[in-house]
Amino acid sequence: MITKEQIADAYKQIQDEICAGLELADGKGKFEEELWTREGGGGGRTRIIQNGNYLEKAGVNFSAVEGKLPEIIKKAFGVSEDDFFATGVSIVIHPNNPWIPIIHMNIRYFEMISESAKELRWFGGGIDLTPHYVIDEDTRFFHRSLKATCDKFKVDFYNNFKKWADDYFFIKHRNETRGVGGIFYDRLNPDSTALTWDEIFEFSKAVGRTFLPVYTELIERNKDKSYSKDHQDWQFQRRSRYVEFNLVYDAGTKFGLETNGRIESVLMSLPPQANWAYDFQPQPDSEEEKTLNLLKKGINWI
């Protein structure tokens, strides 16, 4: 049986691999690391690049925290136990070139010390893409890569987790998806997947290791494309939607804030700049209008 220490060690290794690969892809930016401890138990490694060649702000965070759950989290989970352990890697990247997409990845593990017979432990995570401009070829490459990873473990994982992502990364007050989706899953355990704990752990690591080759390819495809001030203004507008989702709906942000997480690490998902233009309407038949028309649930990108 895998232990929480083994899971945390594997996630640290994945953080190291991704940071090294992103520094190589950017060619300029270097991660600054902050080690932190959480009052109540545990801590983490926050790593940030700012103002790189292509990565305007990139955060690759590892955490392993433990302690007592706040009442609001216990109520949300439907549990009475207090003691918990949670570990994971969380990534958000905001590029400076509007043709390179925003990307988010998270892999995580959670367990509680329970006096009941019920086993309170699970894996969660996913990867999703938020292009400022939706490029069909890039989006299909992204989704096909995720499907290839999912198919190695269970044939229905991609379709199920893709729908989950469409539903989760949805900005209800805008009636639009945050981006072009990806995969999202939560509370995976042997009962919900018919896989063993070891197999679910291998899936979690595979998702984590899908991130780097996929995103570095998207950087390579788009890093030399020229852009205008209008393109950048649109980028700042799309970033504002990202902010709205993370502050209003994102469960990870809420969990971090409600469990007394390190604020700078919790909010590293926010971009360095975002704009809110009043009642913006794109020009007919423009790239901006095309992108808005593709921010919908249920699009088959395979």
Residue 302 within any structural domain of the chain: no
Summarize pLDDT for 186-207 with one digit per residue, the tens: 999 999 999 999 999 999 999 9
Range of the domain at 203: 4-293
Tell me how many domains the chain contains: 1
Query: Which pLDDT value is given to residue 256?
Result: 79
Q: Per-residue pLDDT averaged across 115-123, rounded?
A: 71
CATH number for the domain including 236?
A: 3.40.1500.10
The chain-wide mean pLDDT, for the chain, equals 93
* pLDDT > 70: percent of the chain: 95
Asked whether residue 299 is assigned to any structural domain, the reply reads no
The pTM is what?
0.93
Residue 118 has pLDDT above 70, yes or no: no
For the segment 282-299, the average pLDDT, to the nearest whole number, is 96
* pLDDT mean over 105-109: 97
Residue 57 pLDDT class (50, 70, 90 cuts): very high
Task: Report the sign of the C-alpha dihedral through residues 45, 259, 161, 163, in that order.
Answer: negative
Is the pLDDT at 75 greater than 80, yes or no? no
Note whether 273 and 94 are within 8 A (CB).
no
Q: Give pLDDT, residue 39.
A: 83
Identified catalytic residue from 104, 132, 173, 231: 104
Unique residue bearing structure tokens 């109540």: 40
Mean pLDDT in residue range 77-98:
88
Answer whether residue 216 is part of any domain: yes
Confidence of residue 60 (pLDDT cuts 50, 70, 90): very high
Query: Is residue 298 domain-resident?
Result: no
Task: Please state, in angstroms and rounded to a whole number, the distance separating the CA atoms of residues 278 and 296.
Answer: 22
104 catalytic residue (yes or no): yes
Residue 117 has pLDDT above 70, yes or no: no
pLDDT per residue as tens digits for the range 145-182 = 999 999 999 999 999 999 999 999 999 999 999 999 99
Say if residue 116's pLDDT is above 80: no
| pLDDT of 267 above 90 | no
The per-residue pLDDT for 81 is 66
Task: For 14-40, write each residue's pLDDT tens digit.
Answer: 999 999 999 999 999 999 999 999 888
pLDDT at 278: 93
